[in-house]
Amino acid sequence: MNKTDKIIFQAKKEGRTILLEPEAKAVCIDYGIPVTKFNVAKNEKEAADFATKIGFPVVLKIISPEIIHKTEAGGVKVNLKTPEEVKAAYNTILINTKKYNAKANIVGILVQEMAPQSTEVIIGSVKDATFGQTVMFGLGGIFVEMLKDVTFRVAPLTRQDALSMVTEIKAYSLLKGYRNSPAVDIDAIVDALMRVSKLVMDHPEIKELDLNPIMVYETGAKAVDTRIILEPSF
């Protein structure tokens, strides 16, 4: 069993269809998809220590199988610059999420490297009843939510498929650079699309995958939120 198989096996054993964010991140790393550095804290001191080790600023996030949309639950605090801010955020997140869902099991708090602000893109995957695994690409924020500027392909993708996905969205001109903002690393996006395609083809038990957002830079890219949902019966 490789690392990803083990993580999926463990989730199933615990009767979960959602991978916790650190598990989903470990799966991404296993497939060479770049993610932000992270560690799981069980108390405020640990959170502050991990933050110091990772380097400030950091982001703290709730880890709970019952909380899928973390921001909605008050479960995300970004741009924490000192150990004191980390400790305070740790406790605020616990209070917020308990208020949001008193029954939620709290596994811990994810301490992660804060990725510098940049162009946010989304890579997703859903398993279609007819076509099987599919891969989605779009620009983050209003481009996906309001303008529905997204594109889909049936997996597995060829490199040419992945490249055409990136170039065919309406917002491609933003990725190519405009006015003072430089072009982003298109190769890094193509690479991530190929790796997601391989991951979902290797693992038909993955029902949905959501890398939302991935920060893309002039060089490189980093997924800051990784969500993987498994088939209930597999």
Q: Which residues bind Mg ion (CB under 5 A)?
A: 212, 225
Residue 61 binds ligand ADP (CB under 6 A) = yes
Assess contact for 153 and 163: CB atoms under 8 A.
Answer: no
Check: CB of residue 47 under 8 Å from CB of residue 76: no
**Tokens, residue 143:** 């481009």
Which of ligand ADP, Mg ion, none does 112 bind, CB closer than 5 to 8 A by kind?
ligand ADP
Using the minimum distance from each CB to ligand ADP, give the nearer residue, 36 or 157.
36
Which residues, 20 to 59, sit near ligand ADP by CB under 6 A?
36, 59
DSSP-assigned beta bridge partners for residue 128? 132
Least separation in angstroms between CB 63 and ligand ADP: 11
DSSP string, 33-82: --B--EEEESSHHHHHHHHHHH-SSEEEEEE-TT-SSTTTTT-EEEEE-S
Considering the complex, what minimum distance in angstroms separates the CB of residue 6 from ligand ADP?
24
Distance CA 125, CA 137 (A): 9
Q: Which stretch binds ligand ADP (CB under 6 A): 107-115, 152-160, 163-171, 190-198?
A: 107-115
Member of 71, 82, 105, 158 binding ligand ADP (CB under 6 A): 71
Separation CA 157–CA 195 (nearest Å): 9
Which region, judged by CB under 6 A, interacts with ligand ADP, from 2-10, 65-73, 85-93, 194-202? 65-73
Q: Is residue 76 part of the contact set for ligand ADP (CB under 6 A)?
A: yes
Gyration radius (Cα) of the chain, Å? 18
Query: 209 forms bridges with which residues in the sheet?
Result: 125, 228
Closest CB 149 distance from ligand ADP, rounded Å = 17
The one segment of 44-52, 106-114, 160-168, 173-181 that binds ligand ADP by CB under 6 A: 106-114
